[in-house]
Amino acid sequence: MIAKLLTVEQQVHSQSTRRILLIEDNDVNRMLLSDYLRYCRYSVQSLPGASNFFRTIDKFKPELILLDLKLPDVDGYSLLEQIQQKPDLSKIPVIVVSAFAFKADQERAMRLGACRYFVKPVNLTNLILAIEEELAGLQL
């Protein structure tokens, strides 16, 4: 497991900095995930909610979005719908990282445009692999 994680981190470290927007309302989760992503050499912008979401996208130009579904100011599903309604944003892969563990939640998020779905607590190795796969798909 450690060797696998090191291999993934070595691959990530060798690539240029990619931009990830993290929307997570829990301060501790947001800090830990942001720190880990930065350790893996991603450029990370994080938000505790969706109030500055579109302004942040315009300025930061993320290549991938990590989205929690339970946010204080908007339902994450609504945010997924709004993203899909904007052609320039609908191309950005959205990976949901949520405590909602029911299959119906996952199916709904995927139907609304999420490309992956992880249930908290998230396996960081699997998350980084998914991020890398999605970002690699953008380069094709």
Looking at residue 132, what is its pLDDT?
Answer: 96
Find the CATH number of the domain harbouring 43: 3.40.50.2300
Domain assignment present for residue 46? The answer is yes
Residue among 41, 32, 53 at smallest CA distance from 97: 32
Whole-model pTM: value is: 0.87
| Residue-wise pLDDT tens digits, 72-113 | 999 999 999 999 999 999 999 999 999 999 999 999 999 999
Residue % of the chain over a pLDDT of 70: 87
d(CA 50, CA 7): 34
Cβ atoms 112, 103 nearer than 8 A: no
The reply to whether 10 falls in a domain is: yes
Q: Residue 89: which domain range?
A: 2-133
Q: What is the pLDDT of residues 19-70, one digit of tens each?
A: 999 999 999 999 999 999 999 999 999 999 999 999 999 999 999 999 999 9
- pLDDT at position 7 is 53
> Does some domain include residue 118?
yes
Domain count, the chain: 1
pLDDT at 16: 64
User: Does a structural domain hold residue 89?
Assistant: yes
pLDDT of residue 1: 47
- Give phi and psi for 101, each to the nearest 5: -100, -5
Q: Residue 139 domain-assigned?
A: no
Q: Is residue 138 part of a domain?
A: no
In a domain, residue 140? The reply is no
Residue 10 predicted with pLDDT over 90: no
Q: Does the residue 28 lie in any domain?
A: yes
Q: Is 97 helix (H, G, I), strand (E, B) or coil?
A: strand
